Amino acid sequence: MKEVVMECRNLWKIYDGKIIAVKDVSLQIHEKDIKVIFGPSGSGKSTLLRCLSMLTPPTKGEVFLRGECLTKQGIDLNKARARIGFVFQHIWLFPHLTALGNVELALRHVLKMPKKEAREKALEALRVVKMEKWANYYPAQLSGGQQQRVGIARALAKNPDIILLDEPTSALDPELTGEVIDTLRSLAKQGTTMLIVTHEMPFAREVADEMIFFDQGTIVERGIPEHFFTKPSSDRAKKFMERLIEKTAGEQNV
């Protein structure tokens, strides 16, 4: 039995006491698991990821990272966040730092690595995403796809227990999406534990151990990818899948 890396139990996120963004979600992600979350815009997927990484405190429920409860009082959240990699939809690289500087930052100042070791680790992470040649370039000098690969390297370099990716390709055009997907595919092959919000269905079908259909703040349906590609049980998931497959086919025909 594989170890549980991240878990949430009965997680809720309610804004202003009335807007329910995440509703009673329970989830387990095991070592080397790749789970894909998909669902309509505004369904709470990003909020769920932010609650899991404690970037946004959940209103109710518990989050565990390797058995340690992150939602209890008195926990050092900065230390916990350092063990979780997070890749944002809009990337958010620090514009005053080079690609290397972006990746090195947490290694130097959070993990307190000596300068030389941090540099080697950062270069290693850039090598994994095939960006080592661009190490000394600033974000403004890189394409969106390259920036996102640096974003992935930044999350990866900390050697986190898990990487959460929030629609890492949705701000990119199809060509740039391809290069980011290739990077994620190679991370998947290396056994990186990942929870990915994405609508890249061919990719999800290829790498996901489980797909989760999320709607109105909660898990509607879950199963192996083939389940969704052949016989999703809920109407909502069926319609959403049909539209996604149509869209993907449309893009491939262009």
Partner 1 sequence: MFEFLIEYSSMLFEGFITTISVTFFGSLVGFLLGTLLAIGDLYGGKIASTIIGFYVEFFRGSPIVVQLFIFYFSIPIMLNVYINSFTVGLIVFALNSAAYQKGYIKGAMESIYKDQFLAALSLGLTKMQTILYIVLPQALRIVLPAWSNEFCSLGKSSAALLTIGVMDLANVGKTIASHTWRVIETYAIIALIYFIWISIIVKIVDIIYDKIKIPGISA
Whose Cβ is closer to partner 1: residue 151's or residue 225's? Answer: 151
Contacts of 229 (CB under 8 A, 6+ apart): 201, 205, 241, 245
Q: What is the DSSP string of 210-243?
A: EEEEEETTEEEEEE-HHHHHH--SSHHHHHHHHH
* 23 to 62: interface string for partner 1, x by CB under 8 A: ------------------------------x-x-------
Shorter beta-carbon distance to partner 1: residue 47 or 237:
47
- Shortest distance, CB of residue 24 to partner 1, whole angstroms? 25
Binding positions for partner 1, 81-120, rule CB under 8 A: 81-84, 86, 88, 90, 92-96, 105-106, 109-110
Contact 126, 146 (CB under 8 A): no
Please state whether 185 falls in left (phi above 0), alpha (psi between -120 and 50) or beta: alpha
**Residue 78 engages partner 1 in binding (rule: CB under 8 A):** yes
- As a whole number of angstroms, the distance between CA 47 and CA 166 comes to 10
Shortest CB 201 distance to partner 1, Å: 27
Residue 117 C-beta-side C-alpha neighbours within 13 Å: 9
Site string for partner 1, 124-153 (x = CB under 8 A): --------------xxxx------------
Element containing residue 166 per DSSP (H, E): strand 162-166
Instruction: State the number of binding residues for partner 1 (CB under 8 A).
Output: 28
Nearer to partner 1, 55 or 69 (CB): 55
Residue recorded with tokens 């149509």: 246
**Chain residues in the site for partner 1 (CB under 8 A):** 53, 55, 78-84, 86, 88, 90, 92-96, 105-106, 109-110, 138-141, 154-155, 158
